[in-house]
Amino acid sequence: MVHEHQDEVFGIALRMLGDRDAANDVTSIVFLKAYRAFGRYDQSRPARHWLLRIAVNECISAGRARTREQAHRAGPDDALSVADRAPLPDEATIAREDRARVRHAVADLAEPYRTVTVLRYFSGLTIDEIAAVTGRPSSTIGVQLLRARALLRRSLEVTA
């Protein structure tokens, strides 16, 4: 199961958290939790959805923990010295810069929108599969995807 799903779990974690080290940590935690809970897992259901649900929940938890940690470490004046996340002018190609802009715009989305966007457009899940992973109704997922696209469109127009 690890061999089959580790790349996808890591990819979701990376896109949701934007940090390779945090994504590696979350990926390890996901498979550790899956191993511990395997006896409770309903094997008639797809393992992929089960693992992705664990991954999304862990990413949300890790993001919250990181936010709390940063709030305790950084003072208000430190916010002025935060590095710009925009791509550097000397990066390889315009296409690479565009991909970076999209990744950053997705990372800046609020949690429910970021989750559904990552699962739909980066992992290729259907709306029903996303509903199964997140435990939200399909109609809610559809609305969140529409709002996420509008937010991304606005964000990308501002940075263009």
pLDDT in tens, the chain (160 residues): 889 999 999 999 998 888 899 999 999 999 999 999 988 888 888 889 899 999 999 999 888 887 777 666 655 665 556 566 665 555 556 666 777 788 888 888 998 899 999 999 888 899 999 999 999 999 999 999 999 999 999 988 886 6
The sign of the dihedral angle between the CA atoms of 127, 129, 135, 138 is positive
What pTM, to 2 d.p., does this model score? 0.55
Q: Show which of 57, 82, 107 is a domain's final residue.
A: 82
- Whether 78 and 2 map to the same domain: the answer is yes
For 46, the token pair is 């797809």
User: CB within 8 A of 5, min separation 6: which ones?
Assistant: 47, 48, 51
* Domain co-membership, 106 together with 77: no
Is there a single domain that holds both residue 19 and residue 56?
yes
The pair of structure tokens assigned to 154 is: 């606005």
| 57 and 112, same domain (yes or no) | no
Asked if 159 and 102 sit in the same domain, the reply is: yes
Q: Of 46, 64, 82, which residue sits at a domain end?
A: 82
Which runs of consecutive H residues, i.e. helices, occur in 20-75?
20-37, 47-73
CATH number, position 2? 1.10.1740.10
Domain span holding position 58: 1-82
Q: Are residues 137 and 77 in the same domain?
A: no
Half-sphere exposure at residue 43, Cβ-oriented, CA atoms within 13 angstroms = 3
Distance between CA atoms of 154 and 157, rounded to whole angstroms? 5
Q: Are residues 74 and 107 in the same domain?
A: no
Same domain, 106 and 54: no
CB contact at 8 A, 113 and 88: no
Could you give the number of structural domains in the chain?
A: 2
